[in-house]
Amino acid sequence: MLSAPSQDHWLLAVQHTRNRSPATFEQWFPSIQFDGLEGDTLRLTARDEFVRDWVRDHFLPSLLSQLSTLTGQQFKVAWKISTELERPVCAPPAPPSSSLVPAGGGAPQARPIEADSQDWGAVTQARRTSSMPPRRPKLASVPSVSPVAGLNLKYTFDNFIVGPSNELAFAAATASAGSGRPRYNPLFIAGGTGLGKTHLMHAIAHRILQDRPDARIVYVSAELFTNEFIEALQNRRMEEFRARYRSECDVLLLDDIQFLAGREQTQEEFFHTFNTLHDAGVPIIVTSDKYPQQLQRMPERLVSRFKSGLVADVQSPQLETRVAILKKKAQLEDIDLPDTVAVLLAQHVQSNVRELEGALIRLAAKASLSGQAITEELIRGEASLVASTSARIVCVTDIQRAVCSHFRVTSADLLSKDRHKSVAFARQVAMYLCRQRLRSSFPELGRAFGNRDHTTVMSAVRRVENLRKRDPQIDAHLEAIENRLVSSND
Ligand code: ADP
Ligand code: MG
């Protein structure tokens, strides 16, 4: 015999619902208050309409079905809105604990701060007050927040998929998040766009904050550093600026250092900041889309400092890693993605992880708008979804073939050790194009070009890059080869 509906039933239903998605639950229920069960009415108060709608859409079905199982009766819900909640269903989450965030478990260290959406779930520091509703997250995302400006709480080590393309950078990043004087300082993470450099950098910050919540972490893009520097100069606030970056900083994370190219005064300022922190044993982590020695218009003294620590690169992930990344993103975003579909999508989008994610999000949006599941047919039927992310699906052999017919050399020549000028040039162009188009790793390309060393591929790519700056003929060659690639696809 079922007992009369009571607060205990409500608490059991809450417990059940919370267990199904704890992180999301903790995120929303500090903004909900239980006002009682009266007759067939469940009375709830939400801090604002947005919280009400979110909870109604995402949690009420589970809560109500559990309540009805427990009490044998159906309930309707009467909502009130009040910015003042006296007894929220769950108090705001506790400050970060030293335990790790479970994979896919969202952001348990989240404090009640508002999320922004400049990127997929990127965050700002703005604190949420009782009068500020959380902004609507995209898809199933929950607001992710951090006490450090600009950090995305989803960019944790647990959410980072490790594969051959990034294992050194991952190991170095986890090591630099440890306590004590860093073994390698600075850590310089280099690699193409969308390959996880910023993710690793944020993950370092999160790990440090878990262990030492009071650590003064300064995370800044080189662009913001430059802007702040200029502002400080204009407003005569250099002392404040220097204090922030030198004396009040326990860890410096500087993203996209390549932005400093040619900005001599900012470089000078950064050089001194770097030295002060380095001398004090403060960990410095820098990311860049180029290796230190490839950074242009960057003074040698800075380049040599970047090289003095550990340079770890991220390369384009292989298929298996791409599939694992897709599955992790799908899990984080609550997207139902069958394995076969993940593999198909990963085969289509090879360029970089950001584009891979973009394709997944577009497919998920498309599927949800049309009320279907994400299936292989959906991907095949939506060539444009992937076409925009990877203009044309080509492989190394396609590029080699196109280059051979353009320069009238044979594939055997291309893969041979022949150093004859015309063959060597065709080979360099082919390596360059493969690197550009496929973002394959240097070792991978070395293997694909007659088992050459990865340094040979690196210098070939660099040579073509340099030639392009001097010789307009090179771009004409590249364009002609691209045209061949496109037409061979038709
Ligand atoms: P970068 O800074 O190198 O341009 P980001 O760090 O911004 O790239 O990564 C782009 C997107 O790809 C982010 O959403 C990030 O979470 C994701 N990403 C990249 N590499 C991985 C990985 N190995 N595992 C999971 N997500 C990844
Ligand atoms: Mg980045």
Nearest CA to ligand 1 atom 27: 196
Nearest CA to ligand 1 atom 9: 196
Atom of ligand 1 nearest to the CA of 202: 6
pTM for this one? 0.57
Superfamily of domain covering 7-81:
DnaA, N-terminal domain (3.30.300.180)
Atom of ligand 1 nearest to the CA of 155: 16
**Rounded distance from Cα 201 to ligand 2 centre (Å):** 9
**Rounded distance from Cα 206 to ligand 2 centre (Å):** 16
* pLDDT tens per residue across all 490 residues of the chain: 455 777 777 877 777 676 555 545 666 777 888 888 888 899 999 887 767 877 887 788 888 887 877 777 888 999 998 877 877 787 544 433 322 222 233 332 322 222 222 222 222 222 222 333 333 333 333 334 456 778 898 999 999 999 999 999 999 999 999 887 888 999 999 999 999 999 999 999 999 999 999 999 999 999 999 999 999 999 999 999 999 999 999 999 999 999 999 999 999 999 999 999 999 999 999 999 999 999 989 999 999 999 999 999 999 999 999 999 999 999 999 999 999 899 889 988 887 899 899 889 888 888 888 888 898 888 877 655 554 444 455 678 889 999 999 999 999 999 998 888 889 999 999 999 988 877 778 888 999 999 999 999 999 999 999 998 888 888 888 888 887 876 664 3
**Rounded distance from Cα 244 to ligand 2 centre (Å):** 22
Q: What's the N-to-C CA distance of the chain in angstroms? A: 70
Pocket of ligand 1 (CB under 6 A): 120, 155, 159-161, 166, 191, 193-199, 325, 328, 353-354, 357
Report domain extents, the chain: 7-81, 136-314, 319-387, 396-488
Atom of ligand 1 nearest to the CA of 119: 14
Atom of ligand 1 nearest to the CA of 200: 6
CB atoms within 10 A of CB 8: 11
Nearest listed ligand to the Cα of residue 200: 1
Question: Which residues pair with residue 155 across a beta bridge?
Answer: none
Atom of ligand 1 nearest to the CA of 191: 3
**Pocket residue to mutate for ligand 1, from 161, 165, 195, most atoms within 8 A of Cβ:** 195
Atom of ligand 1 nearest to the CA of 162: 23
Instruction: List C-alpha distances in Å: 194 to 348, 352, 356.
Output: 16, 5, 9
**Rounded distance from Cα 319 to ligand 1 centre (Å):** 15
Place of tokens 């047919």: 377
DSSP tag of 30: G
Nearest listed ligand to the Cα of residue 153: 1
Residues present in the chain in total? 490
Nearest CA to ligand 1 atom 23: 161
| Rounded (10°) angle between helices 454-470 and 421-438 | 90
**Rounded distance from Cα 309 to ligand 1 centre (Å):** 23
Q: Which CATH architecture has domain 319-387?
A: Orthogonal Bundle (1.10)
Please state, in angstroms and rounded to a whole number, the distance separating the CA atoms of residues 460 and 468.
Answer: 12
Nearest listed ligand to the Cα of residue 160: 1
Query: Counting runs of H as helices and runs of E as strands, what totals does the chain give?
Result: 21, 10
409 residue type, one letter: V
Nearest alpha-carbon partner for 186 in 205, 173, 202: 173
- Rounded to a whole number, what is the largest CA-CA distance in the chain? 91
**Rounded distance from Cα 470 to ligand 1 centre (Å):** 33
Q: What is the dotted CATH code of the domain comprising 396-488? A: 1.10.1750.10
Instruction: List C-alpha distances in Å: 164 to 169, 316, 329, 461.
Output: 10, 10, 19, 21
**Rounded distance from Cα 124 to ligand 2 centre (Å):** 16
- Matching CATH number, 136-314, of 3.40.605.10, 3.30.565.10, 3.40.50.300, 3.90.79.10: 3.40.50.300
Half-sphere exposure of 151 (CA within 13 A, CB side): 28
- Where does 76-185 show beta strands of DSSP type E? 76-81, 113-115, 123-127
Please state, in angstroms and rounded to a whole number, the distance separating the CA atoms of residues 237 and 9.
Answer: 59
**Rounded distance from Cα 197 to ligand 1 centre (Å):** 7
For residue 413, the surrounding DSSP H or E stretch is helix 411-415
